Each structure stands twice: as C-alpha cells, then as structure tokens.
Structure 1
Amino acid sequence: MRAVIFDMDGTLIDSEKYWKAVAEWFFNEVARAVPSDLERFVGASTNDQIEHLKEEGLLKVTPERFIEAKEEAEHRIYHEQTALMPGARDLLAALYAKGVPLALASSTARKWIEVVIDRFALRKYFTFVISGQDVPHGKPAPDIFLACARALGVAPKDCVVVEDSTSGVMAAKAAGMYCVGFKNGLGRHQDVSQADLIITRLAEVRFPFDF
C-alpha cells in the first residue's frame, strides 16, 4: 500500500497570502521585530514559534498572549479569508477515486484544521488528520509525518508528502519520505530545494510510483 500526505497552509489552501496581510499587526502585537528566519517560523508549531522568538530575544508578551493574538489572526483567516488552492480539490478527488489513502498533516491547531475541512467539504478525502498538537515535536522534526504513516499503516518509504515550507520539506525527508515541494504564494520564498520534485502548480504533481 502507498499513501499521500498533504500539508494544509500554503499547499491545499492559500491562507499564507492572508497571513501576510495580518503579519504586521501580529508581529507588532507579540514581538520586538520580525524574526530573522521567517521561513523557519512560518511552518512551525505555535510552541516552536514561541521558542523561536525567545531564542532571538524578540518575544515581548507572555506565551498566553502570543496564543491569544495568533488565535485572533487565525479566526479571521480560516473563517473568512482563505480559499482552496487551484487544483487542490481535483487532485484530492483523483487520488480518492483511486482508493489512495490520504492524510492531512498540519502544524496548525486542530480546531482551525477542522474549520477548513468543514468549510471546504474535504473530510471525506482524508483517512487521518494529524495536527502539530498531536505529536511531541513540530516540523522540521519528522514526528507528524511518521505519525501519519503509522496511522495509515504504510511504511515511510511508501509515503509521498506534498509540502510548501522549508521546515515541512525537511520533516518529510527526515521521515524518509518522497517529497513534492510546492512553490506557491508565500511559499515562493521558502527553500524547498531538498524536495525530490519541485512544482509551482498542484496540477504538476507527479508520483514516483503508480497507485
């Protein structure tokens, strides 16, 4: 059996361009400056983002206020602004029709993942959904992708990951999985050079084996 694992933000939905719109407010609220390694920050879990700002001496609020501010931004983005990436539903539907097991692996909080899944009627496509809250370490650690493989009952070498972030690609490769790097939107500034295949549209996805 072989499976496909999708990232959510910047891969299936275009939320990251809306993050750019709220980023100035968000960083003014929680940080002394924008973190130097923004690529690493974008794909990380909330806890890892907090630690990242602490490491750079930029966090100016409590972790609790950081979470509140992030939730304010996320509510606007996931409930009101984001849309499916062009080709996302067609790709999911084609794989689903072939009986390919699919999982969603996102650093985003589970409640926002659920909002997206319900808002765009994606639930039927995914056998499992795993958030950054469900694993000990967020991307670029491989935990979330290895958890998907275990849940699906598929060996890591038989999984394909579709990702748009530097940390996501690093996590997929650390898990021993084939990775498709999607350069789109904010992700165009992400380094996905470690990916096995790099695309600019979801319609360009090609798999290393037949399903």
Structure 2
Amino acid sequence: MVKFAAIKGFVFDLDGVITDTSTFHSQAWHQIADKVGVSWNDQLADALKGISRMDSLNLILAQGHRENDFTPAQKQALATEKNTNYLQLVNQMTPANILPGITAFLTELTTAGYALSLASASKNAPLVLRKLGLSDYFTKAVDPASLKHGKPDPEIFRRGAEILGLNPADCIGVEDAAAGVQSIKGAGETAIGIGDPTVLAAADINFTDTTQLTLANIKAQLN
C-alpha cells in the first residue's frame, strides 16, 4: 500500500460522497420504471448506483424484459425525461445537502495543499456543486462527455489524476459504490470506500460514513 507522505491529490466521486443525490436519482428513475411498467424494488435502486444514465435505463428495461421494446430515439426520450425529473429535485438543493464532515474535510485538504478533482459520471455535477456552494473546491472536474467507458472501467479516475497533473499512484480516490472502488483500483490509485465495508471490501480504506474522512484517520490507516 502507498505511504501517506506520497499522496498529492484526491479524486472524488459526487453522489454518496459529497452529497446524497442518489435518493433524487431513485425518485426520478422510479417515475420512469412506473411509466414503462417495470416493478421497482430496492435491489434495482442499488444496481443503478454509479452507472451512466443510458446504462441505468437499459438495466430497468432488462429487469422488466422490455429491452427490445423501445427504439434508440424512444430510449433517449426516456433518459431525457428522467433527467428533467431529477433536475427539478436538484434545483431545490442547498448547502444543507452536503454530507456531514465533507466541508471540513475539503477545507482541511486545500489548507494542507492537496490537489482536488471530481470524477463524477453525472453531467449535472457542475449544477449540483453550485447549489451546494462547493464549486471553488473543484475547479478541476472530469468531463463525463469525454469518456468512452463508464465505471467500473478505470478511465474516469485515471482522468481525474491526469487533470491534476499527477501520477495515479500519488492519488486517493473516494467512492461509495463497488463499481467506483473497482474503477479507482484499476486506475492504480488508493481507494477509500464510504459505506458498508462488506460491499466495498476491495477498498484499501473503509469508513462507514463521511464524518470519518479526516487526514489523521487516513494517515492512521495507510501507515
């Protein structure tokens, strides 16, 4: 495992790490599932975490054996409708939606001179950051439109290090989804998993929630 002193940058996922928009995503996808007649359950909601919009839609359709019932144009319309539903919810966000301990951790990182970037598959990430008042921390963010592969492919986290001008080995990636942890590890970065350690067993460091994110706790786990 990498030594703490070697770390120069942190690459963050957004949903479930900085804020919890997963409930908004779930609500918006639930509306689409109802519309296409696919029954909604917790397993389906969990399976959609951290994957792209079109992959999410395809998963919902497959769940109801409806993957061949829609043209590409109809699928695009459903994905767009989901996004519209989601944005209505996001527009109501405020800094109160930042997860506990995150603002303090971001302040601690920037004060200590670490470089920060955002590695979110969400095209709405800039809007979410604005609503939360955190845009200044993330002047560097991966453009999801530039990516060829979604998580668990390592491309997004590799790019997160690249835009900081850093070697992936000198970066820590922070994630709450198993696909994201896999992406971090594949990129050659150290992975922090936030959430159930049995689900995120592949992470190098496990914290059950965001309040445990401090440099002291990370140092203690790495050294």
TM-score per shorter chain, which class?
0.7 to 0.9
Q: Distance between the aligned counterparts of 1:31 and 1:177, measured in 2?
A: 41
1:202 is the counterpart of 2:202:
no
Q: Which amino acid aligns with 2:121?
A: S
Whether 2:174 is the aligned partner of 1:168: answer no
CA distance in 2, matches of 1:31, 1:43: 23
Max Rg structure? 2
Higher mean displacement: 159-168 or 66-75 = 66-75
Q: Report the secondary structure of 1:32's partner residue.
A: coil
2:92 matched to 1:80?
yes
Q: Are residues 1:156 and 2:168 paired?
A: yes
| Alignment partner, residue 8 of structure 1 | 14
- SS of the residue corresponding to residue 179 of structure 1 reads strand
- Choose the corresponding residue for 1:116, options 128, 136, 142: 128
- Take 2:112 and 2:80, find their aligned partners in 1: how far apart are those partners? 41
The aligned counterpart of 1:93 is 107
Question: What's the RMSD between the two structures over aligned residues?
Answer: 2.6
TM-score by length of 2: 0.80
Which residue of 134, 156, 159 maps to 2:146?
134
> What is residue 17 of structure 1 aligned with on the other side?
23
CA distance in 1, matches of 2:191, 2:147: 20
Identical positions, percent: 25
Letter of the 2:14 counterpart: M
Which SS does the other structure have where 2:92 is aligned? Answer: helix
The superposition leaves residues 16-73 of structure 1 with CA deviations (integer Å, 9 ceiling, x where unpaired) of 1333444432321246345966544221112332444566544454221222222122
SS at match of 2:218: coil
Question: In the alignment, is residue 180 of structure 1 matched against residue 208 of structure 2?
Answer: no
Q: 2:201 aligns with which of 193, 206, 209?
A: 193
Distance across 2 between alignment mates of 1:175 and 1:30: 37
Deviations 1:63-118 (A, max 9, x none): 21222222122212311157111111111111011121000110111xx2111121
What TM-score comes out, normalization by structure 1 length?
A: 0.84
Question: Structure 1 192/91 Cα, relative in aligned 2: closer, same or farther at 3 Å?
Answer: same
- How far, CA to CA, are the matches of 1:146 and 1:19 in structure 2? 25
What is the distance in 1 between the residues matched to 2:181 and 2:27?
A: 25
Query: Residues 30 and 128 (structure 1 numbering): CA distance in 2 closer, same or farther, change over 3 Å?
Result: farther
Amino acid at match of 1:11: V
Structure 1 counterpart SS, 2:119: strand
- In the other structure, the counterpart of 1:47 is 54
Unaligned runs of 5+ in 2: 1-6
Partner SS state of residue 80, structure 1: coil
Contact 2:28 2:82 in 1 (8 A): no
Which residue identity does 2:218 align to in structure 1? F
Partner secondary structure for residue 130 of structure 1: coil
Q: Check conservation: 1:87, 1:202, Cα contact below 8 A.
A: yes
Aligned equivalents of 1:167, 1:130: Cα separation in 2: 17
Would you say the 8 A contact 1:15–1:81 is kept in 2?
Answer: no
SS at match of 1:5: strand
Structure 1 residues 201, 155: closer, same or farther in 2, change over 3 A? same
The whole-number CA distance in structure 1 between the counterparts of 2:197 and 2:85 is 21
